[in-house]
Amino acid sequence: MDEGAFDHWHSEQLVLCRDDERGLRAVIAIDDTTLGPGLGGVRCVRYPSDAAAITEAQRLAAAMTLKNAFADLPFGGAKSVILAPEPGVDRRALMERFGQFVLRTGGAYLPGVDMGTTVEDLRVMGETGADVSCNEEDPSPWTALGVAAAVRAAVEHVDHREGIAGARVLIQGAGHVGAALAHDLAADGAEIVLADINADRARRVAEEVGGVTIPADEVIGAACDVFAPCSVAKVITPETVDRLRCRMIAGAANDTLLDARCAELLARRGIAYVPDFVSNAGGVIQIHSLRAGHDEERLRAEVLRIGLRTREVLEAAAHSGMTPLHVATERVRRILADARSAAAGARSSGAARRDDRSERALTHA
């Protein structure tokens, strides 16, 4: 989606943050708080323009609404972007100042780690008094565990079998999530292929799991059973769909598709697509579990439920003739509509009770 086509009024709240002394330029996009405070990571990367950064924050915030709602979490969707500062800027001071802006949202935004930020960054933000997540533990391994569950469910659904032994899985990106995913799937007997712009990193992970590597620019045309994007967004476009040589797509990267048209094109080619907001929810599930005080056994069970949700989406899509993206998105729309209806009913009931008390008070006056 180009910047000109994006609806900048889509977000519930948009906050621009500026501090010249500390070199801060940032944006907080709170997409929807129907289910609770907006939960979403803080990115700190370079963008071609300020408008591009704002658009991305809003777009990713909308994706977080889908992710959190589909995973049945008590959070809305939000995202923030810090424009990567110039060399020499005091990073701690930058994150501290951004934490002060987060604090100003009054709890409407709950930040976490994302591309370009760390657990230490979130810890500094939290020192300002802002409510933050990921300030003690990186959720990446749990994101990977959820993606692995989605991959297993996709293979079992498409191939009508149990397990993934022998399935060839191409993982794009050998960072924290991609590396953990490679280990998870290799342990179950999958054949792992890794690609990363950092060829040495891909090679190291491949050696650890007994896999192989391919050049990063050969990912789209590489033969595999499952393509698992775990780095950049929008790798699936109308132009790349025809070049794919996979049978399934399930990964950790947000916004895998350029737009909804790609879901239709994938379906026409018979490629089973697991919506990214379904497969990559392990991290937000871990955040909720930590805040709710769940033990690790319960956390693991909740993350592995991503496999069940994946199977439900793929089966519903097969039976209805709709794309998996349509099925999953419609489920979120129903969840949000029901929550809004329940909230409106509660407000009406509360107003009625107040009116009744007022009438009784007047009667006895």
User: Shortest CA distance to 40 belongs to which of 2, 13, 8?
Assistant: 13
The conformation of residue 88, written as its DSSP 8-state character, comes to T
Same domain, yes or no: 259 and 120: no
Given 126, 156, 177, the domain boundary residue is 126
Task: State which H helix or E strand residue 233 sits in.
Answer: none
Whole-angstrom distance, CA of residue 185 vs CA of residue 205: 13
Question: What is the extent of the structural domain holding 103?
Answer: 3-126
Tens of pLDDT, residue by residue over 285-317, are 999 999 999 999 999 999 999 999 999 999 999
The active-site residue out of 43, 59, 67, 79 is 79
Q: Per the domain annotation, does 61 fall within a domain?
A: yes
Residue 172 and residue 314 in one domain: yes
Q: What percent of the chain has pLDDT over 70?
A: 93
Q: How many domains does the chain have?
A: 2
268 domain-assigned: yes
Judge whether 304 and 145 are in contact, CB under 8 Å: yes
* pLDDT tens, residue by residue, 239-274: 999 999 999 999 999 999 999 999 999 999 999 999
Helix (H) or strand (E) holding 158: helix 140-159
Q: Are 130 and 99 in contact (CB under 8 A)?
A: yes
Q: Which pTM does this prediction carry?
A: 0.92
Distances from the Cα of 252 to the Cα of 13, 137, 175, 178, 338, angstroms: 26, 18, 11, 8, 28
Give yes or no: 79 in active site: yes
Supply the CATH number for residue 177's domain.
Answer: 3.40.50.720
pLDDT at residue 317, as a whole number: 98
Q: Is 79 part of any domain? A: yes
- Whether 360 is in a domain gets the answer no
Q: Give the tens place of pLDDT for each residue, 55-66.
A: 999 999 999 999
